[in-house]
Amino acid sequence: MSQSLIHYGIVVSNSLDKKAFTHHLLSKKSTGALRVFNELDGVLFSDLAIAELIEKEHKHHTIEITTPKNRPLHTFSSGERRKLFLEYCLSKNPDYIIFDNPFDHLDQASRMALYNQLLKLSHSISILQLVHHERDLMPFIKKTSFVSGTCLVVSESDTKTQPQTTQLKPVLPSALVTFTNTYNVLVKFYKVSVNYGEQSIVKNISWEIKHGEFWQLIGPNGSGKSTLLALITGDNPKAFGQDITIFDRKKGSGESVWDIKKNIGYFSTHLTELFERNHTVGQMVLSGFFDSVGLYVKPSAMQQQKALQWLDVIEMRHLKDAYFNRLSLGQQRLVLIIRAVIKQPPLLILDEPFEGLDPENTALVSQLINGLVEYSEIAIIYVSHTIENSLAPSHIYELMPTNDGSIGRIKPEE
């Protein structure tokens, strides 16, 4: 590379259309301070870029990225995918890499490892880091800009007007159908183990979730958190033949995946990564009644009424006809969480609800979760690598890797 290295940090909020912003940069159309990158060839390291690659592998039945045992990328855990994807980015020999919130989805040890890897990389490649908090910028970044609102132009100073912290409505709408308390056992695992070939993933997991409990599920990258969740939601065939009871039914007793799904509200950051349809906010919320992402059947008048009441909770009724894809990431997150709870299921799964959020939206999402904990009887499983101080789970289930697969325990109170 002939150019000298340029390291640049950009502090963005969730109102920025990051897809448009990074596309603009990579297609060498930048103006102002970022013009220097128009001379260079870059690649993007982000959740979206990973999701697009997985989609490509899925569509064309190809393996785009070199992985152990040539497994498709989607079979790796979120943390493992990030590590493999970084190697893939480097193999393209770019002049610079845009790192969009590079530490998301990583456990403490993997964050440290990536931190050291970025320090090392900064001697050989230009790095443009996008962050939500200025404090997350790598130490070698000496030039920082801010992008305020939806504007694609960076400025030298933080011109963002002081955000007004919205107070969400503490009172939740009543349920159309009452599920809660209708089951004796919500989720019960007894000595559950999962292997892939020779590799043991989790071993002898015994775990019970009761009505209204608020659980945090923790464990390092690859320890089996998503595997356990998929056993609950019916998305992992390895559940058969195991001692698992979900909503009073023993696994393998003839239940359909839809019988299970109707009792579960589900949120994951992967839910709408590649969602490109022009659905409105109202339609997206209503789709929670039908366990689909996006609305494909006609909802009843009562269901429409309920959707409006839930939109009131997050102060977004006025946006009911706006296109979901046009919302900021934080607004989308709130919409997807009320989509997950609109049917007031006995169990809500929130898989990394804070990843990628700026401080304002982190505060809003935690207000909403705390409201659900306090004013509903929904049991919640929340997965996160970090402890969110504004939340107080009543129990923590911890997966601890061993050479023979992860074992689990209820984390004792400190």
Ligand X SMILES: Nc1ncnc2c1ncn2[C@@H]1O[C@H](COP(=O)(O)OP(=O)(O)OP(=O)(O)O)[C@@H](O)[C@H]1O
What is the closest distance, in whole angstroms, from the C-beta atom of residue 43 to ligand X in the complex?
A: 22
Burial class (CB in 10 A: 0-12, 13-18, 19+), 253: exposed
The correct pick among 102, 219, 330, 393 for binding ligand X (CB under 6 A) is 219
For residue 79, state whether it binds ligand X (rule: CB under 6 A): yes
**Alpha carbon separation from 298 to 66, 146, 276, 295 (Å, rounded):** 44, 43, 20, 8
Q: How far is CA 265 from the centre of its chain?
A: 15
Binds ligand X by CB under 6 A, chosen from 13, 30, 101, 227:
227
Closest CA to 147 of 128, 119, 166, 164: 128
The amino acid occupying position 205 is I
CA 382 to chain centre: 11
Lay out the site mask for ligand X across 80-109 (x = CB under 6 A, - = otherwise). x-----------------------------
Is 269 among the residues that bind ligand X (CB under 6 A)?
Answer: no
Amino acid code (one letter) for 283: Q
Q: How far is the CB of 223 from ligand X (least distance, A)?
A: 4
Alpha-carbon distance values, 357 to 79, 206, 405 (Å): 18, 33, 32
- Would you count residue 201 as binding ligand X (CB under 6 A)? yes
Among 77, 101, 216, 331, binds ligand X (CB under 6 A): 77
Site string for ligand X, 179-198 (x = CB under 6 A): -----------------x--
Question: 279 or 385, CB closer to ligand X?
Answer: 385
Among 94, 222, 371, 393, binds ligand X (CB under 6 A): 222
* Residue 62 structure tokens: 């190809």
- Any contact of residue 384 with ligand X (CB under 6 A)? no
Nearer to ligand X, 110 or 331 (CB): 110
Q: How far apart are CA 340 and CA 342, in angstroms?
A: 6
The answer to the question of residue 371 lying near ligand X (CB under 6 A) is no
| Residue whose C-alpha is closest to residue 203's, from 188, 218, 187, 189 | 189
* Residue recorded with tokens 């998503």: 226
Task: Look at residues 270, 273, 276, 294 and name the one whose alpha carbon lies nearest to residue 284.
Answer: 294
Among residues 16 and 229, whose Cβ is nearest to ligand X?
229
Structure tokens at 118: 């970025």
The least CB distance from residue 403 to ligand X, in Å, is: 13
Cβ distance to ligand X smaller for residue 25 or 201: 201
Closer residue to ligand X (CB): 88 or 324: 88
Selected binder of ligand X within 22, 101, 226, 233 (CB under 6 A): 226
Q: How many residues bind ligand X (CB under 6 A)?
A: 17
Q: Would you say the C-alpha torsion 398, 403, 405, 409 has a positive or negative sign? A: negative
Distance CA 64, CA 90 (A): 14
Residue 399 burial (10 A CB sphere; 0-12, 13-18, 19+): buried
Q: Could you tell me which stretch among 113-121, 168-176, 177-185, 224-232 binds ligand X (CB under 6 A)?
A: 224-232
Which CB atom, from 196 or from 296, has the smaller least distance to ligand X?
Answer: 196
Site residues for ligand X per CB under 6 A: 71, 75-80, 196, 201, 219, 221-227
